[in-house]
Amino acid sequence: MEDKTTDPKNGRTSLPLLRIGILGAAGIARKNIKAITHVINAQNCQLVAIASRSEIKGKQLLNDHVQLGDKESIKVYQGKDSYKELIQANDVDALYIPLPTSLHVEYVKKTLEAGKHVLVEKPVATCWKEYVEMINAAKKMKKFLMDGTMFVHNPRINDVCSYISSSDNFGKILRIQSSFSFLGDDNFFKNNIRISSGCDMLGCIGDLGWYCVRMAQLIFENDSNAISAQVVHYELNIEGVPIDATCLVTFQSLDQKERNKLLSFHCSFLHPLTQTVAIYGSKQSIHMDDFVISRNEDGEKNKNLSFKVKAQALSDFDLYSLFSNEVKESLNGGCPQEVIMWRNFANFCRAYDDDDETLMKKGKDLLSMSLENQLIVDALMESIRHNGKIISLPK
């Protein structure tokens, strides 16, 4: 990063901007460009370069998604050597890598070894061992590595976790049920990399199931560890990539006296859009029907994000459960979660550059959870290869 600067008028010290390059012109890069260049991130990060092997896509990405006044300051690398040129660029501090999963290990390691921080799309790797290679490269270079799971940066997720852990009303966590799906069209099934065995062989489990697993990890973080995973029903395309899956992940409580907890989830490219999670406690349950992409993600209005808490009360006259609805609101300031993700990423990168141990630990905790997320996805893929066998996770 550039050195800190002091404003001569007010004497205030400005934090250095994280200078970001984008490696590839994938569709998801559009959303991230808007997040990086959002006014809220004006003091955090700056888009300085885009690399695309296509002579057309890089320029098109720039022209379609960057404001007119900012375009002149952004360099576009094009052609077969564009990735190498951006990775070696001296005026770039970090790279966002939205390439196909099969290419992540190669380009993440090259970027880290060039002394740059990395935010990489999920799933991070084709397997857990590749992810470990990336982490080792990051440790060696003392650079920060983070995955692009946006919803974990939304303040309401912290509110949900805090409510469960601090409220006596919720009781003990029992199980989580989740679903994330969308209905792919003909073009999706013919051309999309997410169903290509050579690009994203993890299919719907890596693309959609990743979020269901991460939500459970966040809820169970201080309570349980994942011990096994199983795919109880699945459908593969002709390349052997999962396009529909129903999965079970078992978590063992840290308190040996308590019974195991279960995450059951469905992920699919064959069903209409659904992104729900239900968290069941011994006294209450929490329900979210937009847990991955919140309805107000455009941030145009200062709306409240919410989750519903259903309080369970037993009748004095029978054993049937009665429910009453209560809405707990979580202010997000109208700020899209991807904007917050980039703000957090910039702060973590500064922490690594400044050797700020306190903030570095938070970044390392995110990385540790992401690695476990990959491990669980690996186990689910292994279950498919063994016709739905229960796969034990290493302790």
**At 111, phi and psi to the nearest 5?**
-70, -45
Taking only the tens place, the pLDDT of each residue in 25-67 is: 888 888 898 899 888 899 999 999 999 887 677 677 766 656 5
pLDDT value at residue 54 = 78
Burial class (CB in 10 A: 0-12, 13-18, 19+), 46: buried
Q: What angle do CA 326, 328, 332 make, to 5 degrees?
A: 155
CATH topology of domain 152-336+372-392: Dihydrodipicolinate Reductase; domain 2 (3.30.360)
User: Quick check: 259 and 159 in contact, CB under 8 A?
Assistant: no
Using CA atoms of 81, 86, 91, 94 in order, give the dihedral in degrees to the nearest 10. -170
CA dist 259 and 392 (Å) reads: 17
Q: What Cα–Cα distance (Å) separates residue 244 from each residue in 125, 126, 209, 262, 278?
A: 20, 18, 10, 20, 20
Q: What is the pLDDT of residue 3?
A: 56
Residues of the chain with CATH 3.30.360.10: 152-336+372-392
Contacts of 3 (CB under 8 A, 6+ apart): 16
Sign of CA dihedral 210, 215, 216, 222: positive
Tell me the β-bridge partners of 52. Answer: 78
Token code pair at residue 330: 């979580």
What is the residue whose two structure tokens read 């409240």? 304
Q: Where are the CATH 3.40.50.720 domain residues in the chain?
A: 5-150+341-360
DSSP-assigned states of every residue in 278-291: EEEESSEEEEES-S
Omega within 30 of 0 (cis) for the link into 8: no
pLDDT in tens, 158-200: 889 999 988 788 999 999 999 999 999 999 999 999 999 999 9
Is the domain defined by 5-150+341-360 classed in CATH 1.10.1240.10?
no
- Give me the helix-helix angle, 337-354 and 28-36, nearest 10°: 70
Beta strands in the chain (DSSP E): 5-6, 13-14, 18-23, 45-52, 75-78, 94-97, 117-120, 145-147, 173-183, 224-236, 242-253, 261-268, 270-281, 284-288, 304-314, 321-331, 391-392
SS3 state of residue 165: helix
Task: Tell me the sheet residues that pair with 183.
Answer: 270
Residue 175 pairs in a beta bridge with 262, 280
What's the rounded Cα separation, in Å, for the pair 49 and 40? 20
Are the beta carbons of 21 and 46 closer than 8 angstroms?
no
Give the separation between CA 21 and CA 24, rounded to whole angstroms: 9
- What gap in Å lies between CA 360 and CA 279, rounded to an integer? 30
Helix axes of 357-385 and 337-354: crossing angle, nearest 10 degrees: 120
- Residues near 187 by beta carbon (within 8 Å), at least 6 away in sequence: none
Q: Which residues of the chain have pLDDT under 70?
A: 1-15, 55, 58, 62-72, 296-307, 310-334
- What does the pLDDT read at residue 65? 56
Q: Give me the helix-helix angle, 210-220 and 155-166, nearest 10°.
A: 40
Cα–Cα distance between 95 and 18 in angstroms, integer?
Answer: 10
